[in-house]
Amino acid sequence: MSVRVVIGAQWGDEGKGKVVDMFAEEADVVARYQGGANAGHTIVVGDRKYVLHLIPSGILHDNTVCVIGNGVVIDPAALMEEIELLKSFGVSIEGRLKISHKAHLIMPYHKLLDQLTEREQKIGTTGRGIGPSYIDKYNRSGIRIVDLLDRVRLEEQLREGIRQKNDWFRKVYDAPELDVEKIVAEYLDFDQQMDDYITDTTSFINEAWRSGKTILAEGAQGALLDIDHGTYPFVTSSSPTSGGACTGLGLPPTAITKVTGIVKAYCTRVGAGPFPTELEDETGEKLRALGAEFGATTGRPRRCGWLDLFALRYSAMINGIDEIVLTKLDVLNDFEEIKVCTGYNVNGEPVKYFPSDCGTLEKVEPIYETLPGWNYELRSGESFDDLPSETRNYIRKIEEEVGAPVRYLGIGPGRDEIIVGDLEKVG
Ligand code: GDP
Ligand code: IMO
Ligand code: MG
C-alpha cells in the first residue's frame, strides 16, 4: 500500500514524464492531480518519443489504470487528440483511463481569454486556457465534466457561459465573438466521446489505496510555479506542490507515503519571471543546446542557468521531499567547472529565506560555489560507486543542501538511461 507523489522541484520540465514512466512499471494507478494541457511530459522509448499533456505518464504500461483527477482542468479537444495519437501508436486505452466527473472543462473562450490577457500581463503562459478556467472554477461558474452527462443542462450552461464571455470580448477587447452554436455542438459531441471514461475517481482511488494498491500521483509544472508558493505572479494557476495531490485527487494527507522530487541538474524556466541563476551568455546557450531545452508544449526556448540549491531547499521544505531523482546529469558531462548557488545576497547581506516577492527576487545576487566538472560520459549500468569522484561530489552537495538523498540519476532521455543508487548507501 503506497502513495508516492512525484513533483517537479523547480520551474517545470525536470523530466517528470520519464521518471513517472519508470516508476509506473510497478504501479497500479497513475494519477494527474492538477494543471492541464499546459504540461508536456516526454517519454522516449527506443526511437519513439511520446509527449503527454493530459494523460498520465503511466499509460505506456498495460498494468496501470490512469486517472485524471478532479484538480485537473481538461480541454476535451486536446484530450481526444492525445487519445487518438496514443491509439495510433498501438497503446490500448480502453478500460485504463478514468476521468474525474468533478474536473473542470476548458472552453474555447478560456483559451481566447488566456491569449488576450497575455497581451497585457505578459506572464508567458502556454496559452492553453489554464488560468481563465481556474478563475471560473473558483468563481463557482465553471462547467465540470459531470455537466456533460446532462445534455439539457449542459446546453443551458454553455449558452450562458458563451454569452457572458462574448459580452466581455466585445466590451473589453473589441475581439470577435465566439460562435455559440458551433461550440454547443462540439461539446455535446465530446460528451459522447468521453462518456466511457467519466467516473467517480475520488472513490476509485480511495478504494485502490485502501485495498493496498500502489498509487503514483504525477505532478505537472513545478513547485516554483505553484500559485501559492511559487514566484507569484509568474506562476501557473494550480498547486503543483505535493499538497496539491490531496485536494486534486481527494486522497487524505495521511495516505501519502513518499514524496519524490525531480530535480534537473541545472535550472530552466519557460516564460517570464525571476530566475536568479539565469545565464544569458554562452554557458547558458551551451546548456540549452546540450539539454535540448525547448518547450515540449510550445516549442519555446527555455531559459537556462546553474542549479539553484537555495531555491531547491525551499522547494524541499514546502514539498517534504523524501528522495531526489536527479535528471539530465549527462548534460553537465563536459563542463570544466560547474557552479551551484547556495544562497542569495540583497544589498550585500545574505537573505535568510527564499524571497516571496518578485521585486526582491529580481535583484538578488546569487552566492555561488564552484565545483570541478567530471569530463566523463556517464553510462547506464554503472553504480554510484563507479562514478567519477567529481560527479559524486556534485551529488553529495545537492544531498547536503537539500537534506534528502539522491536515489536515481538521469543520464539521457531514453527509458533505460538511468542509474539507480544503492538504497543502502546513498543518503
Ligand atoms: P517534464 O515536463 O518534467 O516531464 O519534462 P519535459 O518532458 O518537458 O522535458 C524534459 C526533457 O528532457 C525531455 O525532452 C526528456 O526527454 C529529456 N530528459 C529527461 N530526462 C533526461 C536525462 O536524464 N537526460 C537527458 N539528456 N534528457 C532527459
Ligand atoms: P510541465 O508539466 C514549464 C509556465 C508557463 C508560464 C507559467 C504560466 O511540462 O513541467 P500557464 O499556461 O500554466 O498559465 O503558464 O507557467 N508553465 C510551465 N513551464 N513546464 C510546464 O509544465 C509548464 N506549465 C506552465 O511557461 O511561465
Ligand atoms: Mg514539460
- Confirm or reject: Cβ of 7 under 6 Å from ligand 2: no
Q: Are residues 375 and 417 in the same domain?
A: yes
* Closest-lying ligand 1 atom to the alpha carbon of residue 41: 4
**C-alpha of residue 202 to centroid of ligand 3, in Å:** 26
Domain carrying residue 309: 263-425
C-alpha cell of residue 323: 528522495
Q: What total of structural domains would you count in the chain?
A: 3
Q: Are residues 297 and 376 in the same domain?
A: yes
- Confirm or reject: Cβ of 157 under 6 Å from ligand 1: no
CB 118 within 8 A of CB 127: yes
Q: Are residues 134 and 232 in the same domain?
A: no
B/e letters for 317-328, b = 16+ CB within 10 Å, e = fewer, are: ebbbbbbbbbbb
**pLDDT given for residue 218 in this prediction:** 98
Q: Are residues 205 and 131 in the same domain?
A: no
Closest Cα to atom 13, ligand 2: which residue? 236
pLDDT (tens digit per residue) in 197-239: 999 999 999 999 999 999 999 999 999 999 999 999 999 999 9
CATH code for the domain of 276: 3.90.170.10
**pLDDT given for residue 422 in this prediction:** 61
0.85 exceeded by pTM: yes
Question: What's the rounded mean pLDDT across residues 22-51?
Answer: 97
Closest Cα to atom 12, ligand 1: which residue? 15
CB 248 within 8 A of CB 289: no
**C-alpha of residue 41 to centroid of ligand 3, in Å:** 5
**pLDDT given for residue 381 in this prediction:** 84
Ranges 9-18, 323-332, 417-426: which has the least confidence: 417-426
**C-alpha of residue 40 to centroid of ligand 3, in Å:** 4
* Per-chain residues with Cβ under 5 A from ion ligand 3: 13, 40, 296
Looking at the predicted structure, is the pLDDT value of residue 427 above 60? no
Of the pLDDT bands very low, low, confident and very high (cuts 50, 70, 90), residue 192 is confident
Of the pLDDT bands very low, low, confident and very high (cuts 50, 70, 90), residue 424 is very low
Taking alpha carbons only, the member of 35, 74, 64 closest to residue 245 is: 35
**Ligand 1 pocket mutation pick from 18, 23, 55, 225 by most atoms within 8 angstroms of CB:** 18
Taking alpha carbons only, the member of 149, 161, 154, 249 closest to residue 194 is: 149
Length of the chain: 427
Q: Are residues 37 and 158 in the same domain?
A: no
Q: Are residues 233 and 367 in the same domain?
A: no
CB 337 within 8 A of CB 393: no
**C-alpha of residue 308 to centroid of ligand 2, in Å:** 19
Calpha distance 255→210 (Å, rounded):
9
Q: Higher model confidence: residue 321 or residue 174? A: 321
Q: Are residues 280 and 380 in the same domain?
A: yes
Residue type, 352: K
For helices 76-88 and 180-194, what crossing angle results, to 10°? 50
- Confirm or reject: Cβ of 268 under 6 Å from ligand 2: no
Residue matched to cell numbers 500581463? 121
* Domain edge (last residue) among 162, 194, 226: 194
Q: Which long-range contacts (CB under 8 A, 24 or more apart) does 417-425 make?
A: 417/330, 417/380, 418/22, 418/380, 419/378, 419/380, 419/381, 419/382, 419/383, 419/384, 419/387, 421/384, 422/383, 422/384, 422/385, 425/384, 425/385
Q: Are residues 359 and 419 in the same domain?
A: yes
- Confirm or reject: Cβ of 132 under 6 Å from ligand 1: no
* Domain edge (last residue) among 258, 277, 292: 258
Looking at the predicted structure, is the pLDDT value of residue 180 above 70? yes
Calpha distance 110→261 (Å, rounded):
31
CATH code for the domain of 59: 3.40.440.10
**pLDDT given for residue 1 in this prediction:** 76
- Confirm or reject: Cβ of 124 under 6 Å from ligand 2: yes
Q: Are residues 293 and 397 in the same domain?
A: yes
Q: Are residues 234 and 328 in the same domain?
A: no
Looking at the predicted structure, is the pLDDT value of residue 399 above 90? yes
**pLDDT given for residue 408 in this prediction:** 96
**C-alpha of residue 160 to centroid of ligand 2, in Å:** 30
| Nearest bound ligand to the CA of residue 237 | 2
- Confirm or reject: Cβ of 302 under 6 Å from ligand 1: no
Instruction: Give the whole-number percent of the chain exceeding pLDDT 70.
Output: 99
Ranges 158-162, 294-298, 341-345, 351-355: which has the least confidence: 294-298
Active-site positions? 13, 41
Taking alpha carbons only, the member of 287, 339, 340 closest to residue 311 is: 340
Three-state secondary structure readout of the chain: CEEEEEEECCCCCCCHHHHHHHHHCCCCEEEECCECCCCCEEEEECCEEEEECCCCCCCCCCCCEEEECCCEEECHHHHHHHHHHHHHCCCCCCCCEEEECCCEECCHHHHHHHHHHHHHHCCCCCCCCHHHHHHHHHCCCCCEHHHHHCHHHHHHHHHHHHHHHHHHHHHHHCCCCCCHHHHHHHHHHHHHHHHHHEECHHHHHHHHHHCCCEEEEECCCCHHHCCCCCCCCCCCCCCCCCCHHHHHHCCCHHHCCEEEEEEECCEEECCCCCCCCECCCHHHHHHHHHCCCECCCCCCECEEECEEHHHHHHHHHHHCCCEEEEECHHHHCCCCEEEEEEEEEECCEECCCCCCCHHHHHHCEEEEEEEECCCCCCCCCCCHHHCCHHHHHHHHHHHHHHCCCEEEEECCCECCCEEECCCCCCC
**pLDDT given for residue 425 in this prediction:** 47
Q: Are residues 174 and 237 in the same domain?
A: no
* Domain edge (last residue) among 222, 237, 258: 258
Of the pLDDT bands very low, low, confident and very high (cuts 50, 70, 90), residue 426 is very low
CATH code for the domain of 113: 1.10.300.10
Q: Are residues 55 and 146 in the same domain?
A: no
**pLDDT given for residue 295 in this prediction:** 86
Calpha distance 417→411 (Å, rounded):
5
